Amino acid sequence: MCFQVPVAQAVFTGVQLELINRIGDDSLHGFTPVETIEKGFGGIGKINTNVRNELGGIGEVTNIDDIRHIGDINYEIDHMNSVLETSLAAEQAMQLGDLRDIANLKDITKDFKSIGKLGKSSAKRRRFSHPENFFPGVTGMTEVPTFNLTINVEATCPLPFGPYFRSIDGTCAHPKNLGAATKPMARLLPPVYEDGIQLPRMFSVSGRPLPSPRVVSRMVHPDVDRASQFTIMLMQWGQIMDHDMVSTPLPIEDTRDTHVCCGPNKSLPLGSEDPECFPILYHGDHKFIGQCMEFVRSMPIEDTFGDIVFPRENMNAVTAFVDASVVYGNSDEMLKKLRDKKGQGIYFELINGRPKDNGLDDCIRRPGRHDICYLAGDERVNEHPGLTAIHTLFMRKHNLIAHRMRTLVPWMPDEMVFQKTRAIVVAITQKIMYNDWLPIILGRETVTRAGIYSPPNTRSYFDESFDPSIFQAFSTAVFRFGHTLIPKELFLGGKNHTRLRDLFFKPYLLFENFDEVCINLVTGYSDKDRSQQYDSFITEEVTDHLFETQEGPMQGFDLVALNLQRGRDHAIPPYNDYRELCGLHRITRFDDPVLGIAGPVLARVYDHPDDIELFSGGVSEQSALGGLVGETFNCLIARQMRSLKFGDRYFFTHDRGNQGFSDAQLQEIHKYTLSHFMCETTAMAEIQVDAFRKPGYDNPMVSCDFLRRNSLRVEPFAYVMG
C-alpha cells in the first residue's frame, strides 16, 4: 500500500515504483508523508558528493560522453538518475493538490537543486559575447551559450550570391546552412534544465514545485470575449507564417503509433517507462475527464552516432526563413507530390480549385462521403478551415503567375517557369509579412529602427554574421502570442456562426463554404468576425476544447497548458531573464504596472516573479511602442525577424547583382497587398484597402475588379530575373 498524502495519485515509472513501494512500506510504520519522502530520498547526498568528487578530476563536463568513461561510478550515476526521475514524478504529483504549506518541501528538494546546479554551472561557463544589440535603443544579448551541436554543417556555399534560385530545404540561403530544414534551433540564453542537461524545469526559485500548466492556464488565461479592431486575418496570417518558420518534430516510433503517456480515460499512468512522456497532470477539473493530458517531449538533437546531444536541444523540421515553405514544402520529395505532372510541372495540382487528397487519415472523413484530407507544403494544413483556406489561396496564386509566365514566354523551360514563379510568391510573402503585418505587431518605430521595414526604392544587403536560426524561446513562447487573438467562432454560411471546437480537422467544411470562410477572414459578416484583443485572455475553445471531437467531449487539449509544458520541455528560462536580456527592468513584485491586471492572478499561481514563464508573462504585458505586443515580446520578435531578414541572402530587397530583383520588379512587389492577394484568388466582389484591419471610414472598401486590374504585373519578371 502506498503512503497517504493529500494529493492525487502520482506518475511513477520503472525504478521509481520500487522506491515508492519502499516509501509506502515505511509509511505503514508511523512515518509522516514528508518523513517518508525524506527517507526515500535519503541517499541523494552521498551520490551527489561522490559524483562531484569524480567530476572534479576530469574538469569541465561538456558532453555526456565525458561522464560515461568513469566506470567506477556508473552505478551511482544510474541510481542518481532514477532518483531524479522520481523527483520529477513527485513534483508532478504535488502539483495536483495544495502542498504549498508543507514547510519541509524546500529542504526535500534542496539536494536535487544542488545536483541541477552542477550541470547549470557548467553551462554558464560555456558562453560568449554577442557582437551587437539587435536594434538601436535596446541593450542586447551580452551572453549567449555555445553548444556542441556536431551536426551543424560547415560552409558549403562559398559563392558570393549562392545558387541562382532558393533551394527547397533552405541550404545555401546562408553560407553555413544556418536556418536550413532539420537543423538545430538556437538559443539567446542558456537552457534551464533541472539537472543542467535534460530534465525539464520543475522547481520555483523558492524550492517548491512550479504550478501545473493547467492551473496557470485556468487562472491566468481565462476566457474573456473582447473583439479588436483587427480582422481574423491578422491572427490567421500569423499562424501560417509561424508554420512557415517553425515545426518542432515529436519522436515517432517505426510503427508510427503515438506515444501513450496517460492511462485509460486520461487516468494517471502507472508503470510507463517511455522516457519521452511528460504528461500534464491536473486534479478536480470539471472541464476535463480524468487527471492527465497527453504530452510527448520534442525530438532531441542527436550526433552523428545517434546519441542525444547534451544539453538537450531540439530540431526545426522546416526552413527558418520566410520563404513560403508552407506552400512548397521543405524537401524535393514533397514538392514533387505537389506539382501537376500533366502541366509540365509548372503548376500545383488542384482539383476544382482545391488541393488534392494526401491519402492519409490526418483529418475527419465522414462515412459514405467523398471527403478528402488536403495535401500542402505543410502537414498542418487540415487543422481548421481558415488555415486550409490560406494554403489553397497560395497555391492558386502560384498557378495564376505560372500561367501568365508561360503565356508571355512559351519557350521558357518548365523548371525556369516554376522557379521564377516561386521566387515571386516568396517575395510577395516577405513583403506582406515585413511591410504590412509586422508594423501592426511591433509598431512603425520598432520595425524602422530595427531595419525590418523595407521602404520602396531602397536596397538592403545580406550579412553573414546574422544567424537566421529560429531561437527556442521564439518557437515555444514568443510567437505563440497569436493565441490571444483567436476568436471563438467562424462564420460558415447560414444563420449562425460555428464554434471553433466544431471545426478542427474538418476540411470538408471549407469545400462546402469556401467563399464564406474567405470573406469571414477579412471583411467579416458581423462585429463578431474580428480577432480578439491582445491580452492575457484566451478563448476556452482552445484552452478547454482544443482538438475535441463530438465523440469525445471533455477530452480535448489545453493550448496554453501545452505552450507552458513545451517551454519547460525545451528548458526556456523564465520571463524575467528575457526582460533583462532586452535591457528592461526585472519584475520584482507582482503589482508591477507592466503586468497590468494579470499581476494579482500571477501572484496566486507563482511563488516569485522569477518563476513567471515567458509565454504567460509576455502576453500579460500591456501593448507598447505603438504595436500590438508588449515590450518584451516586441524586443524578441524584432530580434528574430531582423536575423531572418539579414541572414537570408535571398531576401527580396537584398542587392544580389544580376541574380536579385530589378528596380522594376521590386516596384511591382512593393505595390502588392493582401487585399490584392484575396481578390485575385477568390470570387470576392470587394474588400477593404488594408485586409488586416476592419473596414471603416479610414479603411474604405474597394472593388476587387479594380485591384485585379492593378495587381502585380508578371511582365517585368518574365524575361529577366535581375
pLDDT tens column, 249-304: 988 643 345 678 888 887 887 666 788 899 999 887 878 878 899 999 999 998 88
For residue 721, the model assigns a pLDDT of: 52
Question: Is the separation of the CB atoms in 320 and 469 below 8 Å?
Answer: yes
Residue 160 pLDDT: 63
282 versus 130: the higher-pLDDT residue is 282
For residue 480, is pLDDT > 70? yes
Query: DSSP strand E in 468-615: where?
Result: 489-491, 497-499
Looking at the structure, do residues 55 and 91 belong to the same domain, yes or no?
yes
Q: How far apart are CA 181 and CA 168, in angstroms?
A: 9
In a domain, residue 469? The reply is yes
Would you please indicate which residues are annotated as catalytic (active-site) residues? 243
Share of the chain above pLDDT 90, in %: 60
Residue listed under C-alpha cell 560568449: 128
> Average pLDDT for residues 44-60, to the nearest whole number?
41
Task: Give the residue, 338 or 28, on which the prediction is more confident.
Answer: 338
Q: Which among 376, 434, 387, 415 has a CA at the least distance from the CA of 648? A: 434
Q: Which residue from 334, 438, 322, 340 is spatially nearest to 396, judged by alpha carbons?
A: 340
Indicate whether 166 pLDDT > 60. yes
Lowest mean pLDDT among 6-20, 566-580, 586-600: 6-20
Does 367 share its domain with 429?
A: yes
Same domain, yes or no, for 226 and 361?
yes
The answer to the question of whether 286 is labelled as a binding residue is no
The answer to whether position 544 is within a domain reads yes
Is 197 found in the same domain as 173?
Answer: no
Query: Which domain CATH number covers 531?
Result: 1.10.640.10
What is d(CA 560, CA 563) in angstroms, rounded to the nearest whole number?
5
User: What is the tally of structural domains in the chain?
Assistant: 2
Average pLDDT, the chain: 80
- Looking at the predicted structure, is the pLDDT value of residue 132 above 50? no
Residue 169 domain flag:
yes
Confidence tier at 161 by pLDDT (50, 70, 90): low
Using CA atoms, how far apart are residues 338 and 319, in angstroms rounded to an integer?
18
First to last CA, the chain: 77
14 Rama class: left (phi>0) / alpha (psi -120 to 50) / beta? left
Residue 306: pLDDT band with limits 50, 70, 90: confident
pLDDT band with cut points at 50, 70 and 90 for residue 391? very high
- Please indicate whether residue 156 or residue 621 has the higher confidence score (pLDDT): 621
Distance, in Å, from the CA atom of 298 to the CA atom of 259, rounded to the nearest integer, reads 12
Which stretch of 26-35, 638-647, 709-718 has the lowest confidence by average pLDDT? 26-35
Q: Are residues 455 and 586 in the same domain?
A: yes
| Residues 680-718: tens digit of each pLDDT | 999 999 999 999 999 999 999 999 999 999 999 999 999
* Confidence (pLDDT) at 551: 66
Whether 20 is in a domain gets the answer yes
Work out the angle at residue 508's Cα, subtended by the Cα atoms of residues 502 and 510, and round it to the nearest 5 degrees: 85
Does 35 share its domain with 139? no
Instruction: Give the pLDDT confidence of 422-458 residue by residue, as tens digits.
Output: 999 999 999 999 999 999 999 999 999 999 999 998 9
Q: 553 and 469, same structural domain? A: yes
Instruction: Compute CA distances 677 → 429, 617, 681, whole Å.
Output: 10, 35, 6
Least confident of 104-113, 544-553, 623-632, 686-695: 104-113
Instruction: Give residue 601's pLDDT.
Output: 97
Are 166 and 423 spatial neighbours (Cβ–Cβ below 8 Å)? yes
Evaluate whether 213 touches 560 at the Cβ level (below 8 Å).
yes
Pairwise pLDDT comparison (78 vs 663), residue with the higher score:
663
504 in Cβ contact with 209 (< 8 Å) = no
Which amino acid appears at position 662 of this protein? S
Q: Is residue 441 part of a domain?
A: yes
Asked if 284 and 328 sit in the same domain, the reply is no
Residues 394 and 339 occupy one common structural domain: yes
Distance of alpha carbon 32 from alpha carbon 405, whole angstroms: 79
- Is 667 a residue whose pLDDT tops 90? yes
Q: What is the pLDDT of residue 265?
A: 82
pLDDT on residue 573: 98
- Cell numbers given for 177: 546552412
Rounded to whole angstroms, how far apart are CA atoms 3 and 34?
Answer: 10
Mean pLDDT of 481-494: 91
Q: Confirm whether 302 is domain-assigned.
A: no
The Cβ of residue 306 has, within 10 Å, a number of other Cβ atoms equal to: 6
Q: Determine which of 19-33, 312-326, 464-478 has the lowest per-residue pLDDT on average.
A: 19-33
Question: Is pLDDT at 75 greater than 60 in this prediction?
Answer: no
Predicted confidence band of residue 720 (pLDDT cuts 50, 70, 90): low
> Are 178 and 284 contained in the same domain?
no
Residue 548: band (very low, low, confident or very high) from pLDDT cuts 50, 70, 90:
confident
pLDDT, position 413: 93
Q: Is residue 2 part of a domain?
A: no
Note the pLDDT of residue 112: 38
Asked whether 700 and 713 are in contact (CB, 8 A), the reply is no
Task: Match 476587387 to its residue by C-alpha cell.
Answer: 704
Residue 386 pLDDT grade (very low, low, confident, very high; cuts 50, 70, 90): very high
**Which segments within 392-518 are labelled E, that is strand?**
489-491, 497-499
Mean pLDDT of 477-506: 91
Q: Is residue 179 part of a domain?
A: yes
Give the torsion sign (CA, 623, 624, 629, 630). negative
138 shares a domain with 119: no
Please write the tens of the pLDDT for every residue from 79-107: 344 334 434 444 444 443 333 333 333 43
Res 155: pLDDT: 55
Give the Cα separation of 594 and 599 in Å (integer): 8
Tell me the HSE value of 668 on the side-chain side, using a 13 A CA sphere. Answer: 15
Per the structure, the complete domain to which residue 289 belongs is given by: 15-125+193-211+257-297
Same domain assignment for residues 458 and 480: yes
Q: Which residues contact 494 (CB under 8 A, 6 or more apart)?
A: none
